[in-house]
Chain A
């Protein structure tokens, strides 16, 4: 933040003329940034206080002394009705969901997009429409029948049942199709002259040139998988299968009956649940932005 304030203050002094337009631009951007930051910063600060202080004094604006207790409790204390699940277990489940979803989606959709873009075969158009009808129809609109299908397959409370139905949409295939279409025609011509077959071409040429795209889609899909809420809520009744985001709901339900709700731990859990995807997006933002924006073209 400091370099932003000096950025506003310095140039006018040197030039002796304040460029009010520039100042105004920065004011808007700072207000916007604060709007995005404030809810999280306030939650972070309040999560370091004890419940009585929060209950009587409301949201806190400074760092308290109970940070260790709250985060320790959120991460390691067994909670829930059956007292079997702690934050670490939920984080493991979130990781399995995020990674399983991202990797599964990338493998399956790269194969499908490769077939659709690089091969001439019967029913190609038909396959294309079968796949792309699913593009914007999220799991939410067919949630009840999906639940029944997964139930009848005996997949409730399994990682397969958690991950695979979420993969059943064409977003990844669509991204890779768009990307493959932008790969120059000459690549395949040259590879064919050199005698490369489909498998050879895929692994030795297409996968290497797609590296950035794969990384970008991995980030987008990991965040998407990690952040899933409705589906895990419905299909995991066994607390051992809870993810962090699913755990938020659990905490709210305990909250309703309590005299003084465990605010500190709830906020700590929310902070823990958001940290991994936020870090990934910030650290790899260049890849991530590129992947998102490419997908539109």
Chain B
């Protein structure tokens, strides 16, 4: 907040009204509905609903399908976050160290940011398709009978590759910006103290990048949880069958296809709590950084 501020009793509320109104109608109302709905069992035609307490939660959490989807989501999130962060960091380190073509590389490595997840999913279908995909042919030539949409783990592989591909650019942009904000004096001093490249990187540059990396970790977790919906939906052609899905996808399946409103609401609430925790962690962290820098 500013030291000097306007003092007006009414005017700031007028400024806030549009934002608060939209948030109230399209955020707090639906969120409230989700919480309320999670305690009720609604008949499929929406005529009546019965209060069932925590039943929806216990049914959800103890359901074997939910547990396996949760496990898959956890693994998927970890693998996607790890590979997209690691590859982006490698590319950012290299892009920071070359002089020639640095700008060209930057453009080539970041432009995929603008591609929509379902479009990325469609590219994935083409590359991994059983009939026409070159990846399938390469896999078959080394004896891997790759079957997208049929084999659970093959589908998971395709999901991870497409999701990582789509997420590398944003991580790259942040890592590169983080590297470039390391002062020249620090780099030169480090060069004198520790001429070995990798060791210098891990002892000097990487610790300075740690705040960026932490921020990106949270961004990547929310990405893998939510923004991969389009990739998954297109890769499964809208019919997941036995293929792996994430928790958000299951909320959608149960709510819109299975008409299990209570169960879907309970799952929504669980996800909201999860994300709320992430938000608080990130927020505290950012506030602290602003304070120190």
Contacts and interface: CB of A to CB of B under 8 A. Distances in A.
Q: Do A and B come from one complex?
A: yes
Contacts of A135: 279, 283
B165 A32 contact: no
B174 A293 contact: yes
Interface string A34-52: 0111011011001000000
A97 to B, nearest CB: 12
Nearest to A279: B114
B94 A142 contact: no
Interface size classification for chain B = 35 or more
A297 B123 contact: no
Contacts of A37: 108
Interface stretch (A66-74, A124-132, A210-218): A124-132
* B interface secondary structure, majority: helix
A4 B123 CA distance: 27
Contact of A137 (B8, B169, B170, B276): B276
A96 interface: no
B261 interface: yes
A281 interface: yes
B114 A274 contact: yes
Contact of A108 (B19, B234, B256): B19
A229 B5 contact: no
Contacts of B108: 32-33, 36-37
Given A111-B19, A115-B12, A127-B20, A227 B283 contact: no
Nearest to A148: B33
Contact of A7 (B7, B22, B31, B100): B100
A267 B127 CA distance: 12
A136 B18 contact: no
Contacts of A42: 126-127, 134
A134 B4 CA distance: 28
Contact of A4 (B104, B111, B113, B289): B104
B110 to A, nearest CB: 7
Given A40-B123, A142-B31, A145-B265, A249 B234 contact: yes
Interface in A246-271: 248-249, 252-253, 255-256, 263, 266-267, 270
Given A165-B26, A270-B119, A198 B19 contact: no
Interface size classification for chain A = 35 or more
B215 interface: yes
B119 A185 contact: no
Contacts of B189: none
Contact of A188 (B2, B34, B173): B2
B105 A33 contact: yes
Contact of A164 (B22, B131, B283): B22
B275 A137 contact: yes
A25 B101 CA distance: 12
Interface in B119-174: 119-127, 131-134, 137, 165, 168-170, 173-174
A25 B15 contact: no
Contacts of B29: 145, 149
Contact of B2 (A33, A118, A245, A281): A118
Given A185-B3, A285-B107, A245 B118 contact: yes
A29 B252 contact: no
Interface stretch (A53-61, A75-83, A84-92): A53-61
